[in-house]
Amino acid sequence: MSRAVTVDQAVTEAAEVLAGAGTVTLLAHLDPDADALGSALALGIALHRRGAVVQVSFARPDAAPESLAPLDVEGLLVPAPLVNPAPEVLVSCDAAEPGRLGSLARLLDTAGRTVMLDHHATNPGFGDVQVLDPQVEATVVLAHRVLVAMGAPIDPDVARCLYAGLVTDTRGFRTAGPAAHRLAAELVEAGADPEPLTRALMDSHPFAWFEGLGGALERAVLEPSGLLYTTIPLADVRRYRPEEIDSVVEVLRTAAEAEVVASVMQVEENRWRVSLRSTGRVDVAAIATALGGGGHAMAAGFTREGTEEEVLAAIRTALAA
């Protein structure tokens, strides 16, 4: 979209496109989190209840994380190979760029209309209707605004999906502003029950994970620059659920001495997915962008080929710059 439009105008336009659609495919980003999948499922459930034919999908991994699957109360999730190759309307949720949709990014070219919902400052803008607002704490805030503009009811199932994205992207409302707190109150009133939701999403791991976490913490290194990192070997990445692996960085960031923390996860022999978190001073989105990824000032990520030492050296160089 080349015209300059406000977020409000984009929300209205997205609501019009979705309200008129008979078939809609909603995509979450690779390795979907609660914000990506919660946004896609909240919109998907509402559209399905209005009579649309709805698919929700993501390119990787094959199945939804165990903690997020229960949000799919209507059975809208479909494996990536079964996604309609040319949907009437395609919605991209929480993806900072087309590449974050993985192999499903090809649908951006084959869909009749494309709607993009996102809140990453590093998003360059893509899609016919761009609901992009780096000021909001989570993409679910934008999904909620589109639902309201459509006149769709926020029932308990939709509220749970939205709450899941809001509570996780704000790390339990630590980074939430007044409007996000008000939205949370509205979602709780609508039927989202915080305790069971947050327990499943943020506070629950198999006991066997303690061994994996222990290893990750034992391997942690604090460098004089304020970089604190640990590496997670391929065997552990394969052995534990993404819920466990992704939680390591949140433990690392509690180190008082750290400026930047990095969880360096081996996803193939020579390929590493890196989660970066800042404790305040450093903009990790800038580091991630320099290394081929993106994200937010306080939380960002990238995936990179090379040896462990090469990836660590790249982080040190980008941090020093």
Task: State the residues that interact with Mn ion by CB under 5 A.
Answer: 33, 35-36, 94, 139, 169
Q: What is the DSSP letter of 115?
A: E
Of 138 and 154, which has the nearer Cβ to ligand AMP? Answer: 138
Of 12 and 212, which has the nearer Cβ to ligand AMP? Answer: 212
Q: Binders of ligand AMP: how many residues, by CB under 6 A?
A: 12
Quick check: 96 binds ligand AMP (CB under 6 A)? yes
Name the residue among 155, 110, 147 with its Cα closest to residue 131.
Answer: 147
Residue 187 CB, shortest distance to ligand AMP, in Å, is 20
Residues in Cβ contact with 88 at an 8 Å cutoff, skipping those fewer than 6 apart: 21, 22, 23, 24, 111, 112, 113
Among Mn ion, ligand AMP, none, the one that 133 touches (CB under a kind-dependent 5 to 8 A) is: none
Quick check: 247 binds ligand AMP (CB under 6 A)? no
In the set 25, 231, 247, 275, which binds ligand AMP (CB under 6 A)? 275
> Which amino acid is located at 11 in the chain?
V
- Residue 160 tokens read as 């749970």
CA dist 95 and 123 (Å) reads 8
In the set 68, 278, 294, 315, which binds ligand AMP (CB under 6 A)? 294
Residue 20 CB, shortest distance to ligand AMP, in Å, is 29
Residues in Cβ contact with 317 at an 8 Å cutoff, skipping those fewer than 6 apart: none
Cross-sheet strand order for the sheet of 299-305: 221-222, 227-232, 260-268, 271-278, 299-305, 294-295
Residue 286 CB, shortest distance to ligand AMP, in Å, is 12
Among Mn ion, ligand AMP, none, the one that 118 touches (CB under a kind-dependent 5 to 8 A) is: none
- Residue 146 tokens read as 């589109």
> Which amino acid is located at 314 in the chain?
A
Name the residue among 44, 77, 84 with its Cα closest to residue 63.
Answer: 77
In the set 140, 142, 301, 311, which binds ligand AMP (CB under 6 A)? 301
In the set 42, 83, 227, 299, which binds ligand AMP (CB under 6 A)? 299
CA dist 150 and 49 (Å) reads 13
Of 125 and 151, which has the nearer Cβ to Mn ion? Answer: 125
Residue 92 CB, shortest distance to Mn ion, in Å, is 12
Among ligand AMP, Mn ion, none, the one that 302 touches (CB under a kind-dependent 5 to 8 A) is: ligand AMP
Q: Is the peptide bond before 70 cis (omega within 30 degrees of 0)?
A: no
* Residues lying near ligand AMP in the complex (CB under 6 A): 96, 100, 275, 293-296, 299-303
